[in-house]
Structure 1
């Protein structure tokens, strides 16, 4: 296995030679161990945690998320304004900004990028929901007109999936932004070997289930990053990541779980535990094949049967938090929400009222992944034990993540587990992804592409109001939406794991970011 070979090489005499000499420290490639789990490198088709790291390093948005994770700062746009009702946003582009080929970042690139993101109709396309038109009165001015108020639009633009693409280069290689982009665009394969952004790094090589390699952007218009080359090595499990870190084969291990972290005791390694906005959830799809019995009452019963604190203790050794709704702790609208409750008596009572006191069986599929220190298969095994207490049997079938993504769309998976990390600080993203609004990602999947009507009209109305509100009123409206999402019992958060940052002690600048996971351009060697 390639990872093992890499570890042995770097742990041996060759590694010592490479690692010696302070003058060469910043010239060494930075090696990061993590499960790649990449679905695409196309900025408008990619949708994964590693994708966030990659895209925020090779592309740049009009704005960026500040280090406080709760505000935005200028990036490609030096300034922006909005009208009073948040339906028009005007941006002025930095005249110094250039793409990696040296060509200037212009208004036409912004317009093209936003239109392609919307028209591809891929996973992150929801970020352009409500954009009515885009004007470019000159090369450095962009005006975005919305169909209705959207108080979170500026925050959305900090997401890595909204990074601006060099439209000339991408178009020459099969990309299109037209209304038929979902069928006409042919650029995904090209993006697996090339990047076309203005970020501090460019894509060097990508080998699926092997490595993702970056090199510094020689035409970068900002301050050059400290490290010239970065390699993300595919290492699937926490133990192997920790072994690479301890041997010197990796500088950073990104998915070390609490149990594994507790075995690391070396002055050469720094272990930090920080709260995160990430979470693991289970989901129900009554419209999926085999999900016919999963009406609202049955979903409520299953949710009552889960031992939430036990799941936190079992999966992350207690290093995590309960989470009330699909909007994570600390985001607008989450203060004071009722936390999930284990209540076996209530679960049994509901099932008995449905004539299901003898239970039933569900065949489920789960991706074979370890995310945020949680093994999804082990989590489902814990929940399997929980549900057995109310005579519900689940048969677990672990599969590759790519297979899971295919099956969740068709024929659907009645009950499974998944994960989510924020793209920016704002609650709209969770409503647009998890809410039972028409044609959201989980409304489509849970309904079986419309076989079951799950649309929550209250969420639709409240969300429109929230997008036109600010301050305390916005928080109040998102709180009401969160309560409705809890009632839906489609998405049930199980654990918000604390994040473990594990890295060699000579590495500096490692931090968790709500939009990007790990800002690579900030990392250097002491």
Structure 2
């Protein structure tokens, strides 16, 4: 018998009204000292920090932190597509697409008042590449960096990369004060992954040129930022930003209604509709974020091989429309491939659909008609308003209809990271927010090509035939393609990833922006989910 799924509470239902009353009651119970004070903006969020070291970071919360405390050479504009100057006032690209030259803004300074110079750029980007950590794949194409003078940076790529500017605009293109990081053990040489000792210091200090500086950090509790007194651009309106660890949507809304928080970042649509306070504003906006499940054909101790027919059957067994209702009350869209709808190459992709009969037939062809057991470990979190446990309970029920017994194992992020990168996880669930506007990040991250992050997590080295040769060819072709041709190549890449059925996107949720009246600047941003430097408090 399949377990009962905890469905989202619909407004007007008895349970929905009870939840609303509970939020109101809890709000009244919050003591006055919890109130957000003065020009300090308090954010309630279920954080997923793996580190605060810019070159080792890889998480949604990291994106928010890195764009507040550090600058990049360029950054995406408010239209979520156009690149704008940041540390670089101008740039150019060679005819062969392999050399990028940047001129630094002479006004740019770090938080200690020292100037941002070409050596800082070279150190930061090479450290990102050579640490071989979270987002290092974004810098893999860098061959060398020249610094002919203090304000000129010349980056040489091993091959053309039309998305290189997008990559350095991402939060992980953060530029650090090289002298300061070196002083505290940081290195950027080819052996940085073995010799760098800078992370411990960067967990307690920042070394950036952004609008804020790190004041303090207590893991799983609170991140506190203070306005950068030497900020070289327009000073931020808020004196301080505090991000408090609050896991569930009801507790986040409780803090918002009581004044204990100014912004709540993971409110689901149903909780938003239960709000009765005139002091709270909620907006439902589209996003490029998505939640997905992933299969690991090379995981250790699989009960049965997860070959192409089995992976296709798993994809066909899922009730996608039902998942949208269960996870978000319908406030979400289907997503065809591991590339967000609206990015280059996603037009007219086939949307997923359930076909239980075909799924059963494929399993029978694979000799697995009687079923098997599949372990599913995933981070126990609520992301973009989607509770991963609720989502996985629905997946569990769907797969039970084709005789696949899914054993759910919700775990902490730390445990999940260790398992997904160690013996791998047969079935998992996780999420992705864009690092910049461009489809190449998805093809390089999710594509079944040796060296890609998910080829490794899927145990590609242990799974015969998982490498997708055509995907590798397309990635090579797009390097020199004209923009109009690149979209067609990305379209074909998306189809290849759909056919591989290692990454199966489930939900593209609309985001609830929830904040108190008097808070301005709250918006969804491709670069970082929420740009902190734009926030102000009346």
TM bin (shorter chain):
over 0.9
In 2, Cα distance between equivalents of 1:471 and 1:108: 32
1:86 aligned to which of 94, 97, 102: 97
1:151–1:470 contact (8 Å) kept in structure 2: no
2:41–2:537 contact (8 Å) kept in structure 1: no
1:71 aligned to which of 60, 75, 82: 82
In 2, Cα distance between equivalents of 1:453 and 1:434: 16
1:333–1:478 contact (8 Å) kept in structure 2: yes
User: Which TM-score applies when normalising by structure 2?
Assistant: 0.93
1:508-523 equivalences in 2 (<5 Å): 508-523=520-535
2:28–2:258 contact (8 Å) kept in structure 1: no
Q: Report the alpha carbon displacement of residue 28 of structure 1 after superposing the two structures with TM.
A: 2.7
Cα displacement string for residues 425-484 of structure 1 (whole angstroms, at most 9, x for unaligned residues):
001111111111111110011025545442211111111111222322110010001000
Counterpart for residue 402 of structure 2: 390
1:290–1:363 contact (8 Å) kept in structure 2: no
Secondary structure in 1 matching 2:194 = helix
1:296 aligned to which of 274, 284, 308: 308
1:34–1:254 contact (8 Å) kept in structure 2: yes
In 2, Cα distance between equivalents of 1:506 and 1:15: 18
Q: Report the alpha carbon displacement of residue 8 of structure 1 after superposing the two structures with TM.
A: 7.8
Counterpart for residue 24 of structure 1: none
1:3-22 equivalences in 2 (<5 Å): 11-14=30-33
Mapped pair 1:133 → 2:162:
no
Cα displacement string for residues 26-77 of structure 1 (whole angstroms, at most 9, x for unaligned residues):
x431000001111010001111111000000000000010000111000000
Distance 1:8 1:387, change over 3 A: closer
Please identify, of 207-216 and 289-298, the stretch whose mean Cα deviation from structure 2 is larger.
Answer: 289-298
Distance 1:194 1:239, change over 3 A: same
1:82-481 equivalences in 2 (<5 Å): 82-291=93-302, 292-447=304-459, 449-481=461-493
2:127–2:188 contact (8 Å) kept in structure 1: yes
Distance 1:81 1:504, change over 3 A: same
Ranges of 4+ aligned residues in structure 1 off by more than 3 Å: 7-16, 448-453
2:43–2:262 contact (8 Å) kept in structure 1: yes
Please identify, of 469-478 and 107-116, the stretch whose mean Cα deviation from structure 2 is larger.
Answer: 469-478
1:9–1:15 contact (8 Å) kept in structure 2: no
Counterpart for residue 525 of structure 1: 537
2:370–2:403 contact (8 Å) kept in structure 1: yes
Mapped pair 1:57 → 2:68:
yes
In 2, Cα distance between equivalents of 1:305 and 1:49: 30
Which runs of 5 or more residues in structure 1 are unaligned? 20-26
In 2, Cα distance between equivalents of 1:389 and 1:285: 21
Mapped pair 1:37 → 2:48:
yes
Cα displacement string for residues 121-158 of structure 1 (whole angstroms, at most 9, x for unaligned residues):
00100011211111111110011111111011111111
Cα displacement string for residues 329-385 of structure 1 (whole angstroms, at most 9, x for unaligned residues):
110110110011111111011011112111111122111111011111111110000
2:424–2:459 contact (8 Å) kept in structure 1: no
In 2, Cα distance between equivalents of 1:416 and 1:216: 39
1:10–1:249 contact (8 Å) kept in structure 2: no
Secondary structure in 1 matching 2:169 = coil
Counterpart for residue 23 of structure 1: none
1:119–1:177 contact (8 Å) kept in structure 2: yes
Secondary structure in 1 matching 2:111 = coil
User: Which TM-score applies when normalising by structure 1?
Assistant: 0.95
In 1, Cα distance between equivalents of 2:460 and 2:424: 6
In 2, Cα distance between equivalents of 1:236 and 1:327: 28
1:10–1:248 contact (8 Å) kept in structure 2: no
In 1, Cα distance between equivalents of 2:392 and 2:310: 18
Q: Report the alpha carbon displacement of residue 288 of structure 1 after superposing the two structures with TM.
A: 0.4
CA RMSD of aligned residues (A): 1.6
Please identify, of 195-204 and 464-473, the stretch whose mean Cα deviation from structure 2 is larger.
Answer: 464-473
